[in-house]
Structure 1
Amino acid sequence: MTGTTVVDGDRVSLRPVERDDAAFLQRSTTDPEIRIPLGAPKPQNLNQATEFIEKTVEDSDNICFIVEADDEAIGFVMVEIHDYGRPNLVYWFIPEYHGQGYGTEAAGFLVDYFFRTVECHGLQALTFEFNDASRGVLERLGFTKEGRQREAAFVDGSYVDVVQFGLLRREWDASRSD
């Protein structure tokens, strides 16, 4: 843990990802409760998790944070910046913290941080049709379902639909003034 908090809430905080977080991030592709909803085809070893930090966090324009609760890492949130199209919101949390509102709170902090610091018209997020929890997070944050790609991903032995959500800056602005 770095002690460097970027966003501090009542229950969760967001801090920068450090190389020491590789073992924690490795869990995202090892634990089936995280790996399958993310669509990660295989577990990573520690070297691959370190490479992820080097390429996706350090050598990119992506905005990435470790989510902590009570000074313990419980998840990962990221806005993945592309050369084209809308940036993509990505998040996952360790299973012990599922269903308790931590995801909505942490992803909401990242969305707020993003719109306050980056000039961008909107965000998108993709989820698999079977991932009710992720869809719930997005809907609670004000994202709108924009489309569906039928059987667009092969996950855990089956083709599944990918559902796209979007949030425009003006929608985010309007939600802050309510």
Structure 2
Amino acid sequence: MSDTTVISDDRVSLRPVERDDADLLQRSMTDPEIRIPLGSDLRNRHETTEFIEEYIEGDDNLSLVVEAEGERIGIVAAKSLTPVRPGLVYWFLPEYHGQGYGTEAVSCFVEYVFRNVDCHGVHAAAFDFNEGSRALLEGLGFTEEGRFREARFVDGSYVDVVHFGLLRREWEARQSD
């Protein structure tokens, strides 16, 4: 566990993104297994460093590296913390998919957001074809709130974007069960 860990659970820990994490972030913007389901723009290392400076280090966002088994395995983030419902973004290296790390990390992160950010709820979006992401959100209690049909051009075709939401009171009810 890093000395900058802000959240930890049985198998994952979350810590702030550092500039040394540019290579991890760049993978999300170049590896088709991550970039396509995430909808990331293709960026080189210089552009990734600028992204860290402008977006991740911005005052209105919270971005954390997810670590497991002593390795960096992904990112969780909340965009636009000032509105009523910040946007949740996350991705994990493909070699860690299907092992429960994503669910554990996103759950820890949502708990952290509700404990530290004055917001009524959080929202997230996933492409219709990204069954793993949709299942993760539904498993954490998120409700499908809408669908933007053929809203994004991804990998050669237009795809639906599915929007999910989770209210603070819904999260708290699940935690007390």
Please classify the TM superposition score into its range, dividing by the shorter chain length.
over 0.9
Q: How does 1:141-160 map to 2 (within 5 A)?
A: 141-160=140-159
Q: What residue is the counterpart of 2:24 in the other structure? A: 24
Could you tell me how far apart the structure 1 residues matched to 2:155 and 2:84 are? 28
Which deviates more, 1-10 or 66-75? 1-10
Give SS of 2:145's match: strand
TM-score (normalised: structure 2): 0.96
Could you tell me how far apart the structure 1 residues matched to 2:71 and 2:6 are? 15
Q: What residue is the counterpart of 1:3 in the other structure? A: 3
Contact kept? 1:41, 1:155, Cα under 8 Å: no
Matched, 1:99 2:98: yes
Task: Give the CA deviation at 1:78.
Answer: 0.1
Task: Give the CA deviation at 1:20.
Answer: 0.5
Could you tell me how far apart the structure 1 residues matched to 2:139 and 2:69 are? 24
CA deviations 1:106-137 (Å, max 9, x no partner) are: 01110000001111001000000000000011
- Equivalent pairs counted in the alignment come to 177
Q: What residue is the counterpart of 1:113 in the other structure? A: 112
TM-score (normalised: structure 1): 0.95
Task: Give the CA deviation at 1:8.
Answer: 1.2
Quote the RMSD (CA, aligned, Å): 1.4
Which deviates more, 19-28 or 85-94? 85-94
Contact kept? 2:84, 2:120, Cα under 8 Å: no
Could you tell me how far apart the structure 2 residues matched to 1:23 and 1:173 are? 36
Give the gaps of 5 or more residues in structure 1: none
Identical aligned residues as a percent = 64
Could you tell me how far apart the structure 2 residues matched to 1:53 and 1:64 are? 10
**Runs of at least 4 residues of structure 1 off by over 6 A?**
none
Could you tell me how far apart the structure 2 residues matched to 1:74 and 1:52 are? 19
